[in-house]
Structure 1
Amino acid sequence: MGSDSARSHPDHVEHPSGVRVWPRNVHRGPEGGLKVGALSLDRIADQFGTPAFVLDEAEFRGRCREFRDAFPEAKVYYAGKAFLCRAVAAMAHQEGLGVDVCSGGELTVALSAGVPPETITMHGNNKSLEELERATALGVGTIVVDSFEEVARLTAIARRRGVRPGVMVRVMPGVEAHTHELVATAHDDQKFGLSLRDGSAEAAISGIISDGVLQMRGLHCHVGSQIFDSSAHELAATRVLALYARFGMPDGGPWPELNLGGGFGISYTTAEEPVSLCDFAAALEKVIGQECATLRIPHPQLVIEPGRAIVGPSMLTLYRVGTVKPRPGLRTYVSVDGGMSDNIRTALYDATYTATIANRTSTVAPVPTRVVGRHCESGDIVVREARLPGDVRSGDLLAVAATGAYCRGMASNYNHTPRPPVLAVNHQGVRAVVRRETDADLMNLDVGP
């Protein structure tokens, strides 16, 4: 995905590993404060307040193009579950990507952003009847069916409407990806898909083909998230292709698509280094080509669904430091004006992050630091292990890198805290693409005594 440079790393540090954590347009200005392009984070904080998510639009668009370039023959869909708003959906569409959604709400956002329904894929392990009805009526390009019940429901809807919605069957290939157990999704003991091992995937496919109501588009699998190399995807591809080879379309032709999902990892710290996207793509294409030749089947249309790898590194969170508590012999606790309500990942997955002072530089030596939030929970931790200058103080701005994926999307109103805005920065300036919530927003849903 590129390498660090003295300009792109906020502390002007050239990392020997070449790992880039911050958006490429983030740098320190001559006065010492962080900037995104020409805009200082100090100015953004003064105008919009904190906490706030800051999206580098050029980084987002550049990463969309990197996936298109690395997988030139593949269909690329932006995985909206990582983070979705109308501006992001529109940018992904403008850069030539489809959008995948996993709820009726995400579908509404994508459509309202101008994403054509035929370029949308709909996921979900328990789609409601209303969601299936709507997706069918709108002509959503592909519905990924996840269970026998869902196949039956969608078939009944299609018969009643006299249409043939395009479907993929989500397959569990029995692959143990090297990632956190809560984001591994291709082994048998989890909720998604139909198993290769027990024959349920094959039975579902046979039923769809023999019934002839739904239009088979191909097979789908997703090995998990935050995957750093291609080995799990390669193994999943070989297992799914073996199943693919046992079937054909009703007219005898091959299924057109093989969707291997997303899960491409990113660097949250300089200790994490995913394989380059081009190397990942080359390894995957090689295995698929070899397997197709061995099985004597046509090479399917590859489909991938990156989300985190596009939006994650494109965004940072900007906080204001409230209190600083040194714990002699242990660490310094730095409390910020956000926390687990805008980033639950540290508590949920023990996620790691990189933080830096954003409004100034410091010559004071770094000390062991824990960045914590404002909520009434001991687990309200933003960065568990940080090293910030020993003179960090109340009023400082703190920036946390790579918070674009699953932070604002999983944000809550815990302790009745309004959720932060999302501010998009480009060469024209900064604008709110998701405004800050207010106390009035919270009270709008409270019907009173």
Structure 2
Amino acid sequence: MSIDSVWPASATWDDGVLHLGGLAVTDLAREHGTPAYILDEADFRARAQAWRDALPGGDVHYGGKAFLCPEVVRWLDRLGLNLDVCTGGELAVAQAGGMPPGRVVFHGNNKSEHELRRAVAWGVGCVVLDSFAELERLAAIAAGHGTVQPVMIRVTPGVDARTHKSIATGGEDSKFGFSLAAGDAERAVALVRARPSLRLAGLHSHIGSQILQLDGFAEAARRMTAFARAMDVDRLDLGGGLGIAYRPGDPQPPAPSDLVTIVQKETGGLHLSVEPGRSIAGPSTVALYTVGTIKGGTIKGGYVSVDGGMSDNPRPAMYGAPYTAVLASRASSAPARGFTVVGKHCESGDVLVHDARLPGDLEPGDVLAVPASGAYQRSMASNYNHVPRPPVVAVLDGQARIVVRRETESDLLRLYP
């Protein structure tokens, strides 16, 4: 199966049953329960390696916010990828997974003093500065620690990424970074160079997420390269944001090599870094659900309720993210019907898939599979309605192992004094 498919590379079908990593999803659902995220380890590694191969002379920082756990950190370390984190919690996972601190880049638009102290003490490779207040805060912390902290300056280049407004970050009206047009970025460069406890390691920009056209990347590269040359800076991080296909028939995204080729034309001899996340984690994981109830709808064709919902995938409710669902536990020759796949939460907006084409003989107990579920699902999952979050089960060569265990009600109750 193509690495650009909505399904992981190991996905096969046998008499209507989906197999991942050599294992039937019926067996995985029986052993690990549902909902569950099934992570194809070989697929994840192959997508990460594709980025390394595309940029052999530069740096690839995996965007940890897409999905992160200590085992994934270990995979990244072995593959030679660096890691991008943006909170103290993600920093803790990087430490737990054994990532060398020098290969960690620390992002975030409002890092606390505690988080910055922790990063400096650990020896994090680079802190991406996002505001003047943070610049001065970090300079004081590094000086007190007796070290010189490498930093990048996050620049807002004023580029329209042509994506959903909730995941666009490169426009002038953004909570992130220093404005290029207003002169804030140039002022930040001067301030860093005036602080003995900081060392300017490069410039950074990130224009958004789920981007399927390369012209925005090219324009950002042009603007950032011009600024880097004006500031006599030779390292440029152009962030991540390459999108993926979520449904069969969706436009296939450009390959990592396509993006790198485009931006390298604009960046000349600058040392280049990228920060892919979704494009590695997204297609590598399939979410499994068990059907609980089926209702005939008078307008939308019917409702299929499953044992998960917006607590394990908030993206459809937050900004209409599209997904597909398929019957994965048996064969069916029944004609397909249109269904709305909904969750178990007390919200009318708790919809996972709109207009899913599923067999008309669907019944309680059937297992549904939702592909492209690896990015921004487990990492954004919540305990809404006090529902414990699902596990992440890695599969490889006929073996399954839990890399994030299922939460229990005991986990939830432990928080209450």
Could you state the TM-score of these two structures normalised by the residue count of structure 1?
A: 0.91
Partner of 2:180: 196
Q: 1:156, 1:208 → 2: CA distance? A: 12
Partner of 2:265: 286
Contact 2:21 2:398 in 1 (8 A): no
Q: Say if 2:6 is the partner of 1:25.
A: no
Distance 1:330 1:385, change over 3 A: closer
Q: 1:92, 1:349 → 2: CA distance? A: 30
1:76-133 deviations in Å (ceiling 9; x for gaps): 0111000111111111111110111001110111111110000000000000001111
Q: 1:369, 1:338 → 2: CA distance? A: 16
SS of 1:409's partner is: helix
Partner of 2:102: 118
Q: 1:263, 1:343 → 2: CA distance? A: 19
Larger CA deviation: 266-275 vs 122-131: 266-275
Larger CA deviation: 217-226 vs 280-289: 280-289
Question: Mapping of 1:288-307 within 5 angstroms?
Answer: 288-289=267-268, 299-307=269-277
Q: 1:38, 1:120 → 2: CA distance? A: 34
1:329 is displaced (CA, Å) by: 4.9
Partner of 1:386: 356
Q: 2:79, 2:318 → 1: CA distance? A: 32
Q: Say if 2:273 is the partner of 1:273.
A: no
Question: Mapping of 1:15-414 within 5 angstroms?
Answer: 20-29=5-14, 31-248=15-232, 255-269=233-247, 270-289=249-268, 299-414=269-384
Q: Say if 2:409 is the partner of 1:439.
A: yes
Q: 1:202, 1:259 → 2: CA distance? A: 16
SS of 2:357's partner is: strand
Q: Say if 2:388 is the partner of 1:418.
A: yes
1:338 is displaced (CA, Å) by: 0.2
SS of 1:323's partner is: strand
Q: Which runs of 4+ in 1 moved over 6 A?
A: none
1:328 is displaced (CA, Å) by: 4.1
Percent sequence identity over matched residues?
49
Q: 1:354, 1:27 → 2: CA distance? A: 17
Contact 1:229 1:280 in 2 (8 A): no
1:399-423 deviations in Å (ceiling 9; x for gaps): 0001101101111111110100000
Q: Kindly provide the amino acid, as one letter, of the partner of residue 12 in structure 2.
A: H
1:37 is displaced (CA, Å) by: 2.8
| Structure 1 unpaired stretches of 5+ | 5-18, 249-254, 290-298
Kindly report the root-mean-square deviation, in angstroms, between the aligned alpha carbons of the 2 structures: 1.2
| Structure 2 unpaired stretches of 5+ | none
Distance 1:330 1:428, change over 3 A: closer
1:428 is displaced (CA, Å) by: 5.2
Contact 1:333 1:372 in 2 (8 A): yes
Aligned pairs, how many? 416
1:330 is displaced (CA, Å) by: 2.9
Contact 1:175 1:223 in 2 (8 A): yes
1:427 to 389, 397, 406: 397
Q: 2:302, 2:100 → 1: CA distance? A: 50
